[in-house]
A and B are shown apart, each in its own frame.
Chain A
Amino acid sequence: MIKTKKNYILQKIGEEYMVIPVGTAAEQFRGMLTLNESAAFYWRELEKGTTFDSLAVLAMERFEDADEETVKKDIMEFLKDISFATETTP
């Protein structure tokens, strides 16, 4: 199970999705992450806790025209980029 750490908060400010660290997370990561609509969708799933495979299935449902290989590659890259803000539990 992959989950976002609780001190990284997704907020939509204006037209942008931003992930902003608070508390101890703000000491480790200064600034914020800007996400596009797809990344924000993945983030929301990760807030609840999910697996790579579940995320891929949900993404395929959401982005009907996308091929599986591209979706999985995108998710893999996204998870790598935000690895500092996620934790994996058994």
Chain B
Amino acid sequence: MFFIRLAGVPIGVDNRYAPVGWLCRNYQIESGDPAFTVRASDKMLIDELRGILSWSRDLTAAEAEELKKALQVEKPPSDEQEYREKIISCGGKKPVIPLETWSYLEELNVYRQICRKLINFDAFVLHAAVIAINGAGIAFVGKHGAGKSTRLRLWEDAFGKSAAVINGDKPVIRLLDGTLYACGTPWNGKENRDSNCMVPLKVLCFVERSTRVEIRRLQTEEISHRIFDHLLIPDNAADLKRLAGLINTLIGQIPCYLLKCCIEDGEDPLKIWNRIRQDINI
């Protein structure tokens, strides 16, 4: 069991395995009085694995089939020790589903649970990469492979010490005293980029690959369906209504742009940022 502070909210994590604690190392707090505590149950971990089997492109059909069969007889160990003892009791034979898989699933599930509960604190997770330029948060939102991480690198190179990566993949956005903040979290994507801080969210850019660089401000009616795919949809009506309220606040407050990206076309973050700054008067 350990405690973290995420988007300003103290949270308890009743972990089964060590890696999720390591993942959260920069966000851990001494202890205290958590607003809520999460724990991944057997069923939750099994459901996470089933979910991955249904969409993952990293698994071959044969591998997916083997894991599906294994799921009928294997269940997640309660901790590392139980896993080791099981191997010893089976004469050294390892389970088909290794401990690393279960601990990865725990990491996913813990965040899913946290994000579902954070809606009660006017916060939600957005699939985006966020960078701060002189403290102003810019979120790059786009489909897998659209170039969110590439934009982070380009903008970081262009702005040097004025830039800070807040989160490379799944930041939390929180409404606090009327201001929307982008918050760092340990769940930060393949490149492990994040900062444990909150910055005011100033701009949202929907990124698309293109053959030439273009940026244009989106009208309100162009935003809702673009943002929808990048949200974690709550599992009940009351939370969905809260999320819809937050998204309406975001659409009302944060200027949203369509950024067509192309490095070969001389994409220059300084030019893009100046264009946005003139537009919204930052």
Bound pair (A, B): yes
Considering residues A14, A15, A20, A23, which has the most beta carbons from chain B within 10 angstroms of its beta carbon? A14
**Contacts known (A13-B247, A14-B248, A32-B228); A23 close to B235, Cβ less than 8 A:** yes
Mark each residue of chain B from 189 to 233: 1 if its CB lies under 8 Å from any CB of chain A, else 0. 000000000000000000000000000000011011100100001
Q: Is A58 an interface residue (CB 8 A)?
A: no
Q: Are B241 and A18 in contact (CB under 8 A)?
A: no
- The answer to whether A16 touches B221, judged by C-beta atoms less than 8 angstroms apart, is yes
Number of B interface residues in the complex (CB < 8 A) = 17
Whether A13 touches B244, Cβ cut-off 8 Å, given contacts A18-B224, A34-B225, is yes
22 contacts between A and B (CB under 8 A): A6-B237, A7-B237, A9-B237, A11-B241, A11-B244, A12-B244, A13-B228, A13-B248, A14-B221, A14-B224, A14-B247, A14-B251, A16-B221, A16-B224, A20-B233, A22-B235, A22-B236, A22-B237, A22-B240, A23-B236, A26-B233, A34-B225
Q: Knowing that A14-B224, A14-B251, A23-B236 are A-B contacts, what are 10 other residue pairs whose CB atoms are under 8 Å apart, sorted by A's residue number?
A: A6-B237, A9-B237, A9-B241, A12-B244, A13-B228, A14-B223, A15-B221, A22-B234, A22-B236, A22-B240
Binding site for A on B (CB under 8 A): 220-221, 223-225, 228, 233-237, 240-241, 244, 247-248, 251
